[in-house]
Amino acid sequence: MPLQRRVSVLFDEQSIAKRNTEIAQSIATRQPKDLLIVAILKGSFMFAADLMRALHHAGLTPQVEFMHLSSYRDATVSSGQVAILKDVESYVRDRDVVLIDDILESGRTIAFAKDLLAARGARVLTCCLLEKPGKRAVSIEADFVGFECPDVFVVGYGMDVAHCFRELPFVGVVEKA
C-alpha cells in the first residue's frame, strides 16, 4: 500500500535540469575516452538517464551500465555493509568510467563501487546528485556533485522510502504526518 503523505520540494525540476547540464559540461571538459556511465541502482536511475541526455547534448557518446548495490535494504539508515545485487556486464579495463549515485552520505556504497571498478582497470570518476557533508564513514569525495543536501531523508527523482516516491520529478522531504 503506497504511502499517502505530502512531500515538500527541496530541489525542483528546473534546478536539477540546469545542474545536470553543468555537470555534463564539466565531464565533457575532461575529454573522457571510451566513456562508460555506471549508474548505481536503484536510486540514481533518473539522475543517470537525465545526465546521459545532457552528456549527449555536450557532445559525448557514453555507453551505460548498471550496478545494483545496497547498504540500506528497507531501512532509512545505512547498515554499513555493501552487498552486490547486480554487477556490470561490460569490460571496464582502460575505460573512463563515471560512477553515478543518488546521494553521497556515508560514502560506503560509492567507495566500494569505485574501488571495485578501479581494481578492474577503469579510470573512475564519481558523480552524485546530492551530498550530505559531515556524514562520511569512509574517506571519499565526489568528483561531481549536484547539490549539497541538508541532513534530512529525501525522496523523489529516483529515491524512495519503502519503494514509494521514486517517480517524483523533484527531490523532496516527506512531511511528518
User: Which cell numbers in the block locate residue 110?
Assistant: 560509492
d(CA 112, CA 79) in angstroms, rounded, equals 14
Whether residue 177 lies inside any domain: the answer is no
> Is the Cα torsion angle 26, 30, 36, 41 positive or negative in sign?
negative
Whether residue 6 lies inside any domain: the answer is no
For 52, the domain range is 13-152
Q: Which residues of the chain fall below pLDDT 70?
A: 1-4, 71-79, 177
Do 82 and 13 form a contact (C-beta atoms < 8 A)?
A: no
Whether residue 49 lies inside any domain: the answer is yes
Whether residue 78 lies inside any domain: the answer is yes
How many domains is the chain built from? 1
pTM above 0.75, yes or no: yes
Whether residue 112 lies inside any domain: the answer is yes
Whether residue 54 lies inside any domain: the answer is yes
Smallest CA-to-CA distance from 159 within 72, 79, 83, 54 is with 72
Whether residue 34 lies inside any domain: the answer is yes
Whether residue 174 lies inside any domain: the answer is no
- CATH number of the domain encompassing residue 29: 3.40.50.2020
